[in-house]
Amino acid sequence: MRIVPRKIVVRHVPPVRADCADCRTGSLSEHLSALMAPISRGSRDAFVTLFDHTRGTVRAGINSRLRDPHSAAAVFAATYVEVWWLAGSHTDPEVDVIAWIDRIVDRRSAEAGPDPVAPPKEPGSVDAADPQHLRAALELSSLLGRPVDSLTRLDLGRC
């Protein structure tokens, strides 16, 4: 059996202008920046808003770095958990929030290492969950108030 490498299609996904009052009255960049202070004080509502605005952009960035869907899902969840915990360190409103998150993605993608070359699987086989990925997915699920299964699907770009 010959394994053919998968062609990666990279597409840029801009941050989403969700239907919220702040997006209608100002720039999206300013809105994302303004969310960081409430997130650093524990506002889950602000965190959910940031997640909803940025998840497509972040997922596209991860997909451009990692081919393995399990590694990509782990980096996705861990990135947003880190955003939650480090929001207070994003103190300069001049620093673009998307660029700040992208630096977290860069580091986490590098830490994930090279994409593994997985042997072909038998139909019906199930991968064992990586405990670290599961912890990050559970924490992200708790922060967002959304079920874990919707966050751990392989195609997180559509969550």
Domains with residue ranges and CATH for the chain: 34-113+129-158 (1.10.1740)
CA distance 97 to 85: 14
Range name among 66-70, 118-122, 144-148 with the lowest pLDDT average: 118-122
pLDDT for residue 71 = 87
Q: What is the mean pLDDT of residues 101-110?
A: 94
Q: Which of 146, 127, 46, 39 is nearest to 88 (CA)?
A: 39
User: Is the predicted pLDDT of residue 140 greater than 60, yes or no?
Assistant: yes
61-74, pLDDT tens digit by residue?
A: 999 999 888 888 89
Asked if residue 122 has pLDDT above 50, the reply is: no
- What's the confidence (pLDDT) of residue 38? 95
